[in-house]
Structure 1
Amino acid sequence: MSPPPDPVHILAERVAALAELCRRLADENRSLRNSQEQLIVERAQLVSKNEQARARVEAMINRLKALEHNA
């Protein structure tokens, strides 16, 4: 018959497993924060491009209206 499991050994294994889980979660959290930062930058760039396109379209519309009034 095998001896009963050592409570200290069981506790040490659980602490090691929790430490590994903590490390993996910290890595995942870091990765998610990096992804979020990249998405924020990308969104800002897209908003800027959208505003530039809107300004160009509005300028074209105004030029067309001016041509229409002059014709």
Structure 2
Amino acid sequence: MDELDLKKLETRVDDLIKAVDRLQQENKTLRDSQTNLMSERNQLVEKTELARSRVEAMIEKLKAMENE
């Protein structure tokens, strides 16, 4: 291997290291985003269940008032 080949290899290795670093950061960002989205989804599911319970309770009250 001559000096030019060695420099090319070194440059390529540096480029690959930078790509790995970039992909690791991107992966972390995506994982954090996924965690946040799952948390938000869970909160929305809870709110939906609460709303459903309230609506069902109102319907029962209306039926009871109707039967009086």
TM-score range, shorter chain: over 0.9
Q: Which runs of 5+ in 1 are unaligned?
A: none
Residues 33-53 of structure 1 show CA distances to partners (whole Å, capped at 9, x for unaligned) of 000000000000000000000
Residues 6-57 of structure 1 show CA distances to partners (whole Å, capped at 9, x for unaligned) of 1011000000000000000000000000000000000000000000000000
TM-score normalised by length of structure 1: 0.91
TM-score normalised by length of structure 2: 0.95
Between the two proteins, the alignment pairs up a number of residues equal to 67
Greater share of residues in helix = 2
Which of 39, 43, 48 is the aligned partner of 1:50?
48
Question: Partner residue of 2:60?
Answer: 62
Alignment partner of 1:16: what SS?
A: helix
Q: How many Å separate the matches in 1 of 2:20 and 2:54? A: 51
Larger Rg: 1
Which of 7, 12, 15 is the aligned partner of 2:13?
15
CA RMSD of aligned residues (A): 1.3
Task: Quote how far apart the aligned CAs of 1:5 are.
Answer: 6.7
Moved over 4 A (4+): none
